[in-house]
């Protein structure tokens, strides 16, 4: 019985938290960007950048705190490209996002090969400490993720800044008329999304103490799905991320268990579970999910 | 140059400037990050892309699948949809086409590989239509849906081809299917050297591109696709079914990507391999092809050849050790992404294009238009 609790309650619970935290951070980042009217499908690319630079800067500086700053800056760098392309040059936001995904993946793996060589990142470097009681240990970044949910809710719905951010995402022309700088607010929203996606990426690489190619593995897109599923509101988005994190945790726990037939417990099918659940959630339950009214449309100042 | 009008100049100059800009950034990256000589690297790239009959053969082989995925993204774009699902559709295509290639026996001559390609088109098409259906019936965002379907398709294929998986060759210790029947492999029409075999895939790609041009520009279906892509509400009001066009458009997009996956497999490999599935990049490359080709069928052919040349050029860089091991393919990925970015954010290049037209004496303006 106690073994059951260890594996299926504590183990699965911790796995859920571990998988959900980067989703929460990235999805909240996406929330800032999309609430400001800029669709950000490039969360995946910004997470990849964060995953690499978190490790690289931590290795170089010897401090995980500096590593996290590096990851945030890296995420913001790619967010800045997205912002310039979509806000200043009015590029299609999905096209620009696709470009950022390609550039980030290529550039990061280019740097990984050049800076770390074919052996990859070193085995031992500074990572965030783990906290908790007894066997229940998790990264100090896990509570940061949940704190960010509250902070995002507060900023978006309880501050003048949040009101302005939402207004440029809903009706930029009206916001402009009352003197809000639409471009500035949109730049800020996109840059925040880059910072949070960078942090989310660093969580993933710090968690396994290494950077490997393609390690973000679609989590940026799952975060995007969570944002839609949670209807662009912080707390529902958090629950969506917990659901998707749970499906990843479940897949990792079910892998190779004895009482499942061999073909069902195969890693190939189990690792597709999070993606299937995401699909079912998007197609089955969300219904018509209506985002910020002006999201996706460039704003041209007269 | 007097008759050089601004729009057609833009159609050629903007992609050209975008490619040059991306190559320039690539040079800066080579120099600042690796410290290698960018000119030597690009010399190797050009030699690897078009420097010999072998290189040209390799370029044609690399171009074929991405012409298909480029056409796939193009047709979806025309219907107002963004298809990031080319990879998953290609996987489904290669699984269906490959299964016909392995398990059907005794089909005479060309009928076997043609049947395999038809199966691939149907398999990829249905996978694409699923995304279209989820969009119109359930309001699911097609960008996220197609990406999730990519992962599901790859994992499903890996499951089928894993050791003791349903499609794996029985008794073999390799996670791969049995060999394709001889007639299922695409016929080779040109051997620039004993190791490079250029198959009919490129010819099929050109024929399909022509067919796509015809469908888009000369048929009622093409008219409906364009109408829905430009003005869905107006199209609906005009009596067209946005639902139908969306599902058909995504079926066509999926079928084209499915063909891309199948020509790469039936053309160049002996069998379906599990290891092949996780590294399929042709879906994303198709986005670059479609954008660079300005979402026309003819443009996709030229853009596919150009990006295929970059791909085989990367092999040239590897061979000459002009960059650290493994770096060349990553660099090509960055250049592809930059091309997408520059074509997407083409405002700056449009202005540049106009400036160039002015330089060459194209200053004559059609009445009613003003210079920018």
DSSP per residue, B241-289: -HHHHHHHHHHHHHHHHHHHHHHHHHHH-SS-BHHHHTT--HHHHHHHH
Whether residues B155 and B221 fall in one domain: yes
Q: Domain span at residue B92?
A: 40-311
Whether residues B199 and B302 fall in one domain: yes
Domain layout of chain A by residue ranges: 2-285
Whether residues B331 and B250 fall in one domain: no
Measured in whole angstroms, the distance separating CA A62 from the mean position of its chain's CA atoms is 25
Asked if the structure places residue B180 within a domain, the reply is: yes
Contacts of B80 in chain A (CB under 8 A): none
CA atoms within 13 A on the CB side of B120: 30
Whether residues B174 and B49 fall in one domain: yes
Q: What is the pLDDT of residue B1?
A: 46
Contacts of B135 in chain A (CB under 8 A): none
Contacts of B326 in chain A (CB under 8 A): 113, 118
Q: Note whether B288 contacts A228, CB cutoff 8 Å.
A: no
Contact A200, A29 (CB under 8 A): yes
Asked if the structure places residue B210 within a domain, the reply is: yes
- Residue in the structure block whose two tokens are 């989703």: A23
Q: What is the pLDDT of residue B4?
A: 60
Query: Which among B271, B286, B311 is the end of a domain?
Result: B311
- Residue B232 is encoded by which pair of tokens? 């869905």
Whether residues B341 and B300 fall in one domain: no
> What letter would DSSP give residue B360?
T
How many other C-beta atoms lie within 10 A of the C-beta of residue A3?
Answer: 7
**What is the C-alpha separation between B54 and B196, in angstroms, rounded?**
6
Contact B21, B29 (CB under 8 A): no
CA atoms within 13 A on the CB side of A161: 13
Q: pLDDT tens across B142-198, in order?
A: 888 999 999 999 999 999 999 888 999 988 889 999 999 999 999 999 999 988 899
The whole-angstrom distance between B166's CA and the closest CA on chain A is: 10
Bridge partners, residue A132, by sequence: A137
**What is the C-alpha separation between A197 and A209, in angstroms, rounded?**
18
Q: What is the pLDDT of residue B186?
A: 95
Closest residue on chain B to A275 (Cα): B148
B25 CB-contact burial (10 Å; exposed 0-12 / middle 13-18 / buried 19+): middle
Mean pLDDT of chain A: 91
**What is the C-alpha separation between A23 and A11, in angstroms, rounded?**
19
Closest residue on chain A to B36 (Cα): A114
> What letter would DSSP give residue B176?
B
The CATH class of A2-285 is: mainly alpha
The whole-angstrom distance between A113's CA and the closest CA on chain B is: 7
State percent of chain A over pLDDT 70.
97
**Helix extents (H) in chain B:** 6-29, 38-50, 53-78, 86-103, 111-138, 142-161, 201-218, 220-230, 232-237, 242-268, 274-277, 282-292, 297-320, 327-344, 347-359
pTM above 0.90, yes or no: yes
Q: pLDDT tens across A247-276, in order?
A: 999 988 887 677 777 767 778 888 888 899
Which of B140, B326, B344 is the closest to A91 by Cβ? B344
> Looking at the predicted structure, is the pLDDT value of residue A94 above 70?
yes
Which of A85, A266, A283 is the closest to B134 by Cβ? A283
Contact residues for A156 (Cβ-Cβ < 8 A; gap 6+): A31, A32, A35, A162, A165, A166, A234
Asked if the structure places residue B124 within a domain, the reply is: yes
> What letter would DSSP give residue B174?
S
The whole-angstrom distance between B51's CA and the closest CA on chain A is: 25
Q: pLDDT tens across B270-323, in order?
A: 999 999 887 788 898 999 999 999 999 999 999 999 999 999 999 999 999 888
Q: What number is the average pLDDT over the span A94-117?
A: 92
Whether residues B52 and B19 fall in one domain: no
Q: Which residue has the higher pLDDT, A142 or B355?
A: A142
Q: Note whether A103 contacts B345, CB cutoff 8 Å.
A: no
Whether residues B52 and B121 fall in one domain: yes
> What letter would DSSP give residue B183?
G
Asked if the structure places residue B108 within a domain, the reply is: yes
Asked if the structure places residue B369 within a domain, the reply is: no
- Residue B37 is encoded by which pair of tokens? 């000589």
Whether residues B252 and B360 fall in one domain: no
Q: Note whether A96 contacts B344, CB cutoff 8 Å.
A: yes
Q: What is the pLDDT of residue B3?
A: 54
Torsion of CA A184, A186, A187, A188, to 10 degrees: 90
Q: Which residue has the higher pLDDT, A260 or A179?
A: A179
Preferred mutation among B36, B85, B144 to probe A, highest tally of A CBs within 10 A: B144
Preferred mutation among A268, A277, A291 to probe B, highest tally of B CBs within 10 A: A268
> Looking at the predicted structure, is the pLDDT value of residue A193 above 90?
yes
Q: Note whether B326 contacts A272, CB cutoff 8 Å.
A: no
**What is the C-alpha separation between A13 and A138, in angstroms, rounded?**
11
Whether residues B218 and B358 fall in one domain: no
Contacts of B341 in chain A (CB under 8 A): 81, 85, 91, 96, 99-100, 103
CATH number for the domain harbouring residue B206: 1.10.3470
Contacts of B325 in chain A (CB under 8 A): 113, 118
Whether residues B139 and B243 fall in one domain: yes
Query: Which among B291, B311, B331 is the end of a domain?
Result: B311
> What letter would DSSP give residue B197?
E
Q: Note whether A101 contacts B348, CB cutoff 8 Å.
A: no
CA atoms within 13 A on the CB side of B305: 13
Ramachandran angles phi, psi of A179, nearest 5°: 95, 10
Asked if the structure places residue B370 within a domain, the reply is: no
Q: pLDDT tens across A2-16, in order?
A: 777 777 888 899 999
Q: Note whether B33 contacts A114, CB cutoff 8 Å.
A: yes
Q: What number is the average pLDDT over the span A168-172?
A: 94
> What letter would DSSP give residue A131?
E
Q: What is the pLDDT of residue A160?
A: 96
- Residue in the structure block whose two tokens are 């499908």: A41
How many domains does chain B divide into? 2
Ramachandran quadrant class, B35 (left: phi over 0; alpha: psi -120 to 50; beta: rest): left
- Is A85 touching B (CB cutoff 8 A)? yes
- Is A287 touching B (CB cutoff 8 A)? yes
Contact B45, B314 (CB under 8 A): yes
Q: What is the pLDDT of residue B291?
A: 92
> Which residue ranges in chain B fall short of pLDDT 70?
1-4, 361-372
Contact residues for B249 (Cβ-Cβ < 8 A; gap 6+): B75, B76, B78, B79, B81, B132, B225, B228
Q: Note whether A107 contacts B148, CB cutoff 8 Å.
A: no
Preferred mutation among A279, A285, A289 to probe B, highest tally of B CBs within 10 A: A279
> Looking at the predicted structure, is the pLDDT value of residue A1 above 70?
no
Asked if the structure places residue B28 within a domain, the reply is: yes
Which of B144, B324, B337 is the closest to A224 by Cβ? B144
What angle, 0 to 180 degrees and rounded to 10, lies between the N-to-C axes of helices A64-83 and A93-111?
140
Q: Note whether B141 contacts A228, CB cutoff 8 Å.
A: yes
> Looking at the predicted structure, is the pLDDT value of residue A288 above 70?
no
**What is the C-alpha separation between B26 and B206, in angstroms, rounded?**
30
Q: Which of residues 35-64 of A touch B (CB under 8 A)?
A: 41
Whether residues B11 and B114 fall in one domain: no
Whether residues B340 and B221 fall in one domain: no
């Amino acid at each position: 019985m106690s073994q059951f609790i260890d594996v299926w309650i504590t183990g699965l619970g911790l796995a859920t938290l571990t998988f959900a935290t980067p989703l929460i951070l990235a999805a909240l980042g996406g929330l800032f960007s999309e609430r400001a009217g800029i669709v950000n499908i490039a969360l995946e690319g910004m997470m990849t950048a964060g995953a690499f630079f978190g490790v690289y800067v931590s290795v170089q500086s010897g401090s995980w705190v500096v590593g996290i700053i590096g990851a945030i800056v890296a995420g913001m760098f790619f967010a800045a490209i997205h912002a310039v392309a979509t806000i200043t040059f009015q590029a299609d936001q999905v096209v620009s996002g696709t470009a950022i995904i390609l550039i980030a993946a290529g550039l990061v793996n280019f740097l990984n090969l050049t800076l770390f060589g074919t052996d990859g990142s070193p085995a031992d470097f500074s990572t965030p400490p783990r906290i908790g009681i007894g066997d229940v240990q998790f990264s100090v970044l896990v509570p940061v993720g949940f704190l960010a949910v509250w902070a995002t809710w507060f900023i978006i719905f309880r501050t003048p800044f949040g009101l302005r951010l939402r207004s440029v995402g809903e009706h930029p022309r009206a916001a402009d008329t009352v003197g809000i700088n639409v471009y500035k607010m949109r730049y800020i929203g996109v840059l925040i999304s880059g910072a949070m996606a960078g942090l989310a990426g660093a969580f993933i690489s710090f968690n396994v103490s290494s950077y490997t190619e393609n390690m973000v593995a679609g989590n940026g897109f799952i975060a995007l799905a969570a944002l839609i599923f949670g209807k662009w509101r912080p707390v529902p988005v958090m629950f969506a991320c917990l659901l998707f994190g749970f499906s990843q945790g479940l897949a990792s726990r079910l892998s190779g268990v004895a009482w499942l037939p061999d073909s069902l417990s195969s890693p190939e099918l189990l690792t597709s579970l999070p993606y299937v659940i995401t699909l079912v959630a998007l197609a089955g339950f969300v219904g018509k999910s209506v985002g910020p009214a002006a999201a996706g449309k460039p704003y041209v100042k007269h | 140059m007097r008759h050089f009008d601004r729009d057609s100049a833009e159609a050629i100059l903007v992609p050209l400037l975008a490619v040059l800009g991306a190559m320039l950034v690539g040079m800066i990256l080579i120099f600042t990050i690796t410290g290698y000589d960018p000119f030597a690297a690009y010399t190797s790239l050009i030699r690897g892309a078009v420097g010999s009959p072998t290189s040209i053969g390799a370029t044609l082989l690399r171009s074929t699948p991405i012409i298909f995925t480029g056409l796939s993204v193009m047709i979806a774009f025309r219907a107002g949809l963004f298809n990031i699902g080319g990879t998953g559709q290609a996987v489904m295509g290669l699984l269906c086409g490959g299964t016909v290639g392995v398990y059907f026996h005794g089909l005479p001559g060309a009928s076997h590989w043609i049947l395999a390609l038809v199966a691939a088109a149907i398999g990829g098409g249905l996978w694409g239509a699923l995304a279209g259906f989820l969009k119109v019936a359930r309001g699911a965002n097609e960008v996220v849906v197609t990406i999730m379907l990519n992962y599901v398709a790859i994992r499903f294929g890996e499951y089928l081809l894993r050791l003791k998986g349903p499609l794996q060759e029985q008794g073999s210790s390799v996670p791969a299917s049995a060999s394709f029947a001889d007639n299922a492999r695409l016929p080779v029409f040109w051997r620039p050297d004993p190791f490079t075999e250029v198959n009919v895939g490129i010819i099929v790609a050109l024929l399909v591109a022509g067919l796509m041009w015809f469908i888009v520009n000369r048929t009622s279906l093409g008219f409906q696709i364009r109408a829905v892509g430009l003005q869905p509400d107006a199209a609906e009001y005009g009596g067209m079914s946005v639902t139908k066009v969306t599902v058909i458009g995504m079926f066509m997009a999926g079928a084209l990507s499915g063909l891309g996956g199948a020509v790469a497999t039936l053309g160049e490999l002996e069998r379906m391999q599990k290891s092949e599935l996780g590294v399929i990049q042709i879906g994303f490359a198709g986005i670059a092809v479609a954008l660079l080709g300005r979402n026309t069928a003819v443009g996709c052919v030229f853009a596919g050849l150009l990006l295929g040349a970059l791909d085989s050029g990367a092999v040239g860089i590897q061979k000459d050790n002009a960059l650290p091991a493994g770096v060349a393919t990553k660099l090509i990925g960055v250049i592809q992404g930059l091309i997408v970015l520059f074509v997407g954010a083409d405002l700056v290049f449009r202005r540049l294009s106009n400036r160039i037209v002015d330089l060459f004496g194209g200053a004559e303006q059609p009445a009613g238009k003003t210079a920018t």
